[in-house]
Each structure stands twice: as structure tokens, then as C-alpha cells.
Amino acid sequence: MFITQKHLSRRTVLKGMGVTMALPLLEAMVPVGRALAQNASNKTRLVAIEMVHGSAGSTALGATKNMWSPAAVGSAFDLSPSSLMPLDAYRDYLTIVSNTDVRNAEAATPPEIGGDHFRSAAVFLTQSHPYQTQGSDIRSGTSLDQIYAQKFGQETPIPSMQLCIENVDQAGGCFYGYSCAYTDSISWASPTEPLPMIRDPRLVFDQLFGVGGTPEARAIRRRRDRSILDRITRSVDRLKGDLGTADRARLTDYLDDVREIERRIQKVEAFNSSGEHRELPGAPIGVPDSYTEHVKLMFDLQALAFSSDITRVIAFKMSRDVSNRVFNEAGVTTGFHIASHHQEREDRITDLAKINRYHVSLLPYFLDKLKNTADGDSNLLDNALIIYGSPMGNSNVHNHKRCPLFMAGHAGGKLKGNLHLKAAEGTPMANVFLTLLQDQGLEMPQFGDSTGTFELNKAMETTEAG
């Protein structure tokens, strides 16, 4: 049961049968005489998002038509021709870095040729070359998100979370001599330890709110209770009695968000267990058939995790290499992998650009959530670093040059935003990642195949548009 106090700890939770619910930052958690901003977490929330198959803009045609990055560098850029157009309303939070390479995803020896899809995911956040094996002796590198979690994640109940949209539970060997472990995860706790990724929103929800017990016990409780909030009603009422007006309103909004997300998950589960035709018959019961709905649910859960400071580090894999999923919402009926092998035909490159734009168009939903969630005297988007990119460039030829990459959020003041920066030819993406880590206070001289740091807050005079 919740024990009332005049001053609440930031780690105060509400408890009920099988439920432990963290709270958003409240004014009552701030000692008397101290500003809310001073008590707010000064740690940047990190989200690292991988999208597979590169981008249409990495082709020769796509570069001339600015299908991914804008033509102009600096701040006066036009996003309208590009797949980044859906982010235009958030350009003040947007830092685009074009023309970087991911060399460690390239084949290093003749037997590795052709296996780009099956090592790329393991390279994205590690920027390290995977050891080719189908056995248990896998090896890559420690990923950016885990380096960050090892430094800052120990302060939160869950040091980091690993989420995904596509099926990533294959076992054994995949193709071209690579273990499926390389394609199953983008998050590596050590060079030999890829972390499992969660696809089912229900499992994420239960992890966030401490719904313990066996899967069977959890299923029984869900049938008996309309909501986990029913199990903490007395704790909520007792807490509200000791809160001021602003805190009660903030708590009510937070609990309403929890209830709404739970309701949507329950609706998905009800449909998927009804016997109706499913587009994804092999997916877990909590996974929506709709890609858009699935991604939004995962973004909602991430926003809740950040607002309650359950975690500050998330890796999010939004697709799987060689996935041939059809994205009708993009206005394209060609499967994703087939569209990525466009044979340099303009019509098919254009289809890939539409898919790229559709994927990017889902991100503003998340940015809205973060911007509208208070974090001290600021908001979560100001204090977030969202990395979105791909370790592949022109997927038609499986190359890893001119790879798509941008950051959203102000990273706790380290990124000013509204910038397009074009890297010099041959610049490793690892240079950008090294700089991001150093800017957050991690003292490390190198990351992956980095050759130096990268200026992220101003366009260099020698940079040219293209």
C-alpha cells in the first residue's frame, strides 16, 4: 500500500495485487524551496530506431531528386521533395546528417559477399563488423544504446528496453553463413551478447507495470479485471488526497493514458482471439495486424516509460531485413524487400521513396507525445535524443554508402536542431555516434570504426549541397 508523505520520492510507486506502477514527475516530488526543473532528471532519454533496406535517396537518381535528404545544407532547407517531409513541423528539433557510410556492414572476405542483409542489423548500433558464423560463437560489438544504458540506465527500474515490430524469433542459421542472432537484434550488451527484442505490446505493458506471475495467471487476471487500474484504486485515491490541484490533474492524465493504451491492447487481443481472419496469423495475440497501429502502440508505451522514468534507453527495430511486408498505407502494393531491389528503375525507386516517407510519417505521432509531456520546466522532446537510420544505403546493390540518418530532439540542449549537415565523402556514421555519446558525457576515444568526431550544431563552410 502507498504510504503518504509530505514529500514524495521520485521512485514512489502505486501498488496493488500484481501491479507496481511508477508515477510521472509531480510537484510533490520536489523538496520545498527547490524549483521543479532542478529536481527533474538531467539525463537525456535515448531512442535508437533502425529501419532496414536503406533509402531511395541513396540511389544516383534519388540523390539528384533529393528523395531522402534536402538539397540545401544549413537551416534554410526544403523538405518537400524528400521522404523527411512529414517531419517539417518538427524541423526545429531535427538534425539531418547525410552522406555517412557504414563500412563495417560491407563484406570483409569473399565468403561474406551477398550476406549484407544478414549482418546489417548487428552493425547499425555497434558500428562493428560481425563475425561470420551460424553457431553460438557470435561476435559483433557493444551497441550505442547499451553503452549509454551502462552509464545512465542503472538509475532506473529498467536499465533499457528492446522493442521491435517484425518477427525476430528465428533460431539457428539464416543465410550466407550468418546466425539469425545477427538479424534478430540491434542491441548488444557486449560483443557476444545480443539482447532479445519484444514484439508484443502486451508484454511491454506488463513489463512496465509490474504485472507478475505466469502467462496463464496474467491471462486469468485480465479476464477478471477490466484494467490494472482497478487493482490500485485505493492507492490512487489515497495519493490524490495528499496532492495539490496541478498534481492531481497530471496524475489523472497519466492514468487516463495508461487506461487508454490498455484498452487498445485488449481490443487487439479480443479481435485476434475471435477466430476472424488475421493478416498476421503467426503473430502473438497482442500484435495488431495494422503496421500503423502497432508502431503507435509501441510509441505510446515508450512515452509512458519515459514520463514515469521507468527507463531512459530504448532500442526500436521497426522492420526486419528481407521483410516483404506490403505497406498499403504508403500507396504501394509492392513488398518492401522487392521494392528495395528496384533495378534502378525510376518508377520502382519512387515506390521505395513512398515507403520511406510512410515510415517517417509515423514518427511525428511520437514527437507529439514527447513534446506534450512535461519534464521539469521543459518537455520530454527537449530532453530526448531520437536516432533514426539504416545501416544500408542503396539496397538494390547491397551497399552501405550514403546511409540515411537523422536525429530528433534537443538531447538535453546538446542538439540545436533545424540543421542539415552533409558529411565529407567517406565519413563513417560511427563518427556521428561517437560525438553523440561524448556530448552526453561518455568519455570514449573511439566507437566502432570512427575516425574522429563530427560537428553537429553548425554547417561547415566547405560543405556543399547535393
> Which pLDDT tens digit goes with each residue over 383-401?
999 999 999 999 999 999 9
pLDDT at 173: 59
Angle (CA) 227-231-233 rounded to 5° is 100
Question: Is the pLDDT at 226 greater than 70, yes or no?
Answer: no
**d(C-alpha 224, C-alpha 206), whole Å:** 16
Angstrom distance (rounded) from CA 369 to CA 365: 7
- For the ranges 168-177, 222-231, 319-328, the maximum mean pLDDT occurs at 319-328
Give the total residue count for the chain: 466
pLDDT mean over 288-300:
98
**pLDDT value at 293 more than 50:** yes
Q: Is 461's pLDDT higher than 50?
A: no
Q: What's the rounded Cα separation, in Å, for the pair 215 and 365?
A: 31
Query: Does the pLDDT of residue 420 top 70, yes or no?
Result: yes
Domain extents for the chain?
A: 1-39+209-286, 46-199+288-466
Can you give the pLDDT at residue 10? 81
Distance CA 355, CA 330 (A): 5
| pLDDT for 458 | 83
Q: What is the pLDDT of residues 317-369, one digit of tens each?
A: 999 999 999 999 999 999 999 999 999 999 999 999 999 999 999 999 999 99
Q: Please give the pLDDT value at position 404.
A: 98
State the Cα torsion 345-349-351-353 to the nearest 10°: -170
User: What digits encode the pLDDT tens for the residues 121-130?
Assistant: 999 999 999 9
Q: What is the mean pLDDT of residues 11-17?
A: 85
- Give me the pLDDT at residue 28, please: 87
Residue 225 banded pLDDT, cuts 50, 70, 90: low
6 has pLDDT over 60: no
Q: What is the mean pLDDT of the segment spanning 162-180?
A: 82
Alpha carbons 342 and 396: distance in angstroms, whole number:
6
| pLDDT of 282 over the 70 cut | yes
Per-residue model confidence (pLDDT) at position 31: 61
Helix 429-439, helix 144-152: angle, nearest 10: 10
Q: What percent of the chain has pLDDT over 90?
A: 78
pLDDT score at 220: 61
Residue 417 makes CB contacts below 8 A (sequence gap 6+) with 91, 92, 93, 94, 95, 410
Helix (H) or strand (E) holding 15: strand 13-16
What is the spatial distance between Cα 403 and Cα 97, in angstroms, rounded to a whole number? 9
Fold of 46-199+288-466: Alkaline Phosphatase, subunit A (3.40.720)
Which tens digit of pLDDT belongs to each residue from 59-112?
999 999 999 999 999 999 999 999 999 999 999 999 999 999 999 999 999 999
Mean pLDDT of the chain: 91
All cell numbers assigned to 406: 537523422
Q: 344-349: long-range contacts (C-beta < 8 A, 24 or more apart)?
A: 344/59, 344/60, 344/61, 344/396, 346/61, 349/56, 349/59, 349/61, 349/62, 349/67
Is it the case that residue 296 has pLDDT exceeding 80?
yes
